[in-house]
Chain A
């Protein structure tokens, strides 16, 4: 059985430009993770630990410096088209949507990029809107939505082509604590349990990782510090 997501000694370096000197920074180094289909993995770590870089590498938006990435068994460098079909990406909803269009028009446009017919697009939008409880918001302008609703539309867009894997980049960013917890439970029940997707999400909040994840990878300075289940992590916390 192939893994849903597998990275082998993945590394990414950037060159930071300063006057008269360039610094080489390894955003991530020697990162090897495996996620089984239907599992949920949290990338936990402080700012600049490499979480978003790793996520963007998996989403094929950044090219690795070293190592390999396999999505649904496909090497992302050799089969980028196939891997993109298997991935849905959820970024913070403030960017990456057309604010001058309605939620429906946004979903319609992004769905059309995946070769779906008009009838399929219409059915999917209706189904996803019901699943994510945004049906009453579909025909309002995107700029009129609250942050929580924008995030739900971001999730709807990521699911529209039925990807096997959904990547979340700090899904609760800019949400208040109560909305954040509701969204996480929402993701767990709808995306993970009901839709049975594989999930990888980044967070710097330990509690979020425990709510949603089957496994937690703690990143520090671009390297894996620990790789545990939430239960093992809790035990480690208790024993400290």
Chain B
């Protein structure tokens, strides 16, 4: 599996890098967005009355942690969806299905490759965040962040399977990935605290897996929580994983079976 993973990362990276100008524009757009938040938060600091909902924070550290977390969890799904759609369009999806690799493994490899690409692209943002949001990174904090990050990454990999099954059946996955993207960003507490939302939306927030990952992430960074303190969030995330992964696998297998029955694998 190691050789296959390296090959997927190498292939996807080479393809992304071959579109130099669009890649540069994409990166600059992301950096510009972050700088906008910084400027708004810092320049208008005195004018912003901000209740971080349980954290003693100004707006910028609050939103920056949300952006960082969403970059590595939600943005990866968008990249994954684009890549998978391309594979179906250009006919390489059929060739991937001709290989002995299980398609669930193929989707996971695509997801990991998408993560690596996003990680490299957003490294300047991460460094900027580390520089501006001064956190005391103790070993226990770093361990807790790593565990939450890994579990969130694995839980959201199941969404990649769901997106892949959409693409195989409907040939387009951007709709579903945008839906996930928008819903999770707005209702997940990334850009603003949940307490300012109406009660109904706060309930939806509690039903989203990103809420538990992000809240645990902020608790670790700003309240000094360790692994034991965020264990309830870890447990909830694991429950989501136990439900979403089998669902994702079933949907992917069903979609492949359906497409082979209908003869639509090569259609684009």
**Interface residues of A, Cβ cutoff 8 Å to B:** 12, 14, 27, 53, 56, 59-63, 81, 84-85, 87, 89, 91, 95-101, 105, 108-110, 112-118, 157
Contact = CB atoms under 8 A, between A and B. Distances in A.
B51 interface: no
Given A109-B7, A113-B4, A98 B90 contact: yes
Interface of B: 3-4, 6-8, 10-11, 14-15, 18-19, 90-92, 94-101, 257, 260-263, 265-266
B3 A118 contact: yes
A96 B97 CA distance: 12
B90 A95 contact: yes
A129 to B, nearest CB: 18
Given A89-B95, A96-B95, A97-B92, A117 B3 contact: yes
Contact of B100 (A14, A56, A85): A85
Contact of B3 (A81, A99, A115): A115
A163 B96 CA distance: 16
A215 to B, nearest CB: 25
B95 A110 contact: yes
The SS class assigned to the B binding surface is: helix
Contacts, number: 85
Contacts of B257: 63
A100 B91 contact: no
A16 B57 CA distance: 61
A113 B101 contact: yes
What 7 A-B pairs come out closest when comparing CB atoms? A95-B91, A112-B7, A113-B99, A96-B91, A100-B18, A63-B260, A109-B11
B4 A112 contact: yes
Nearest to B96: A113
A214 to B, nearest CB: 25
A157 to B, nearest CB: 8
A98 B15 contact: yes
B72 to A, nearest CB: 25
19 contacts: A60-B97, A61-B265, A62-B260, A62-B265, A63-B260, A84-B100, A96-B92, A96-B95, A97-B92, A100-B15, A100-B19, A101-B18, A109-B8, A110-B95, A110-B99, A112-B3, A114-B100, A115-B4, A157-B95
